[in-house]
Chain A
Amino acid sequence: QSALTQPASVSGSPGQSITISCTGTSSDVGGYNYVSWYQQHPGKAPKLMISDVSNRPSGVSNRFSGSKSGNTASLTISGLQAEDEADYHCSSYTTSSTWVFGGGTKLTVL
């Protein structure tokens, strides 16, 4: 199972919006509404930000939103804040009953 494809890095200024893409295949992202997103600050464990494509867990800011079209899922962060600077990872359930992650995207807040 190949890793999902994410951009290595994205950047934005405070207050702006950014979108991180996560591209897979019909065997993972396109096959199920089971894409999740994780935020990871340096030296810390990942934190769930979005589950099942677009569900935001309790306690996660409504500035974070998720969507999917075909084999590509997206995470959008609006109103960028300095604290949003982190690595972001997507994950999808697959037709092999396994999970696959993306390579991670480093978000820089300028």
Chain B
Amino acid sequence: QVQLVQSGAEVKKPGASVKVSCKASGYTFTGYYMHWVRQAPGQGLEWMGWINPNNGGTYYAQKFQGRITMTRDAPISIVYMELSSLRSDDTAVYYCARGVAVATKGSWFDPWGQGTLVTVSS
């Protein structure tokens, strides 16, 4: 079955960087976009950007541009999301979520990884 498994919780100091991984299985890794979405404690969901695992192309939400980098390692079906210059308001659960197949129309996120809690605290 399609599954996304993320790396474990992280605690970082303000100003540091964090890199979260998301390993995909059960489907053709290069055939689907991968998105990152975060959820601050008690808050709603916030879209951060996507990566095309086939060619490494990315598109980031304007809010994160300059601070976010998404990469992939296609042979091992893993995508990474690195966020730098961390602030206390970056404390959130970060999710990877598979998007639609590349070059197809439609818009949804399915499935989602289990989430990675990133805590930013001095």
A105 to B43, CA, bound (A): 11
Q: Are B107 and A52 in contact (CB under 8 A)?
A: yes
Interface: A93 (CB within 8 A): yes
Which residues of chain B from 72 to 107 have any CB-CB distance to chain A below 8 Å in the complex? 95, 97, 106-107
Q: Are B44 and A103 in contact (CB under 8 A)?
A: yes
Q: Are A45 and B59 in contact (CB under 8 A)?
A: no
Number of interface residues of B (CB under 8 A): 22
Least CB separation from B96: chain A residue: A45
Least CB separation from A48: chain B residue: B110
Which residues of chain A from 39 to 77 have any CB-CB distance to chain B below 8 Å in the complex? 45-48, 51-52, 57
Interface: A102 (CB within 8 A): yes
A96 to B63, CA, bound (A): 13
Closest chain-A Cβ to B31's Cβ sits at a distance in Å of 17
Q: Are B108 and A45 in contact (CB under 8 A)?
A: no
Q: Which of A3, A36, A103 meets B107, CB within 8 Å?
A: A36
Please list 12 pairs of residues, one from A and one from B, whose beta carbons are closer than 8 Å in the complex, sorted by A's number: A36-B107, A36-B108, A38-B45, A45-B95, A47-B112, A51-B108, A51-B110, A91-B45, A92-B107, A98-B59, A98-B61, A101-B37
